[in-house]
Amino acid sequence: GESVGLHLPTLSVQEGDNSIINCAYSNSASDYFIWYKQESGKGPQFIIDIRSNMDKRQGQRVTVLLNKTVKHLSLQIAATQPGDSAVYFCAERRFGNEKLTFGTGTRLTIIP
């Protein structure tokens, strides 16, 4: 069946280190991928997106990598800060389908 999932439900990282959050997807027709951040008590916020014709996209302190061969997506956060503590969701969309399918989320905890 179709699914979007994350490898680990929780991740703890030392402040200042880099964080890598992974996501696997199963639908080879997926052509658009997004990462969202959800802080406690708030709705998800867009972080970065990538289309299937790209392998890598960089934003401010964040990088998304897409490996279509193994259907794997990752979010890298450089120099992790306390404000990065949140749940991170990946989401995917198939070409021609307006619905986003979300993963179950990874909770990132920053250790001071």
Partner 1 sequence: DVKVTQSSRYLVKRTGEKVFLECVQDMDHENMFWYRQDPGLGLRLIYFSYDVKMKEKGDIPEGYSVSREKKERFSLILESASTNQTSMYLCASRRFAGELFFGEGSRLTVL
Give contact residues for partner 1 (rule: CB under 8 A).
4, 9, 34, 36, 41-46, 49, 89, 91, 98-100, 102-105
User: In terms of CB distance, is 66 or 88 closer to partner 1?
Assistant: 88
- Rounded Cα distance between 20 and 63, Å, is 9
CB of 56 to partner 1, least distance (A): 19
CB of 46 to partner 1, least distance (A): 5
DSSP three-state, residue 10: strand
User: In terms of CB distance, is 49 or 76 closer to partner 1?
Assistant: 49
CB of 76 to partner 1, least distance (A): 20
CB of 102 to partner 1, least distance (A): 4
User: In terms of CB distance, is 42 or 69 closer to partner 1?
Assistant: 42
- Rounded Cα distance between 98 and 56, Å, is 23
**Count of CA atoms in the C-beta half-sphere (13 A) of 109:** 6
Burial 81-107, CB ≥16 within 10 A → b, else e: eeebbbbbbbbbbbeeeeeebebebbb
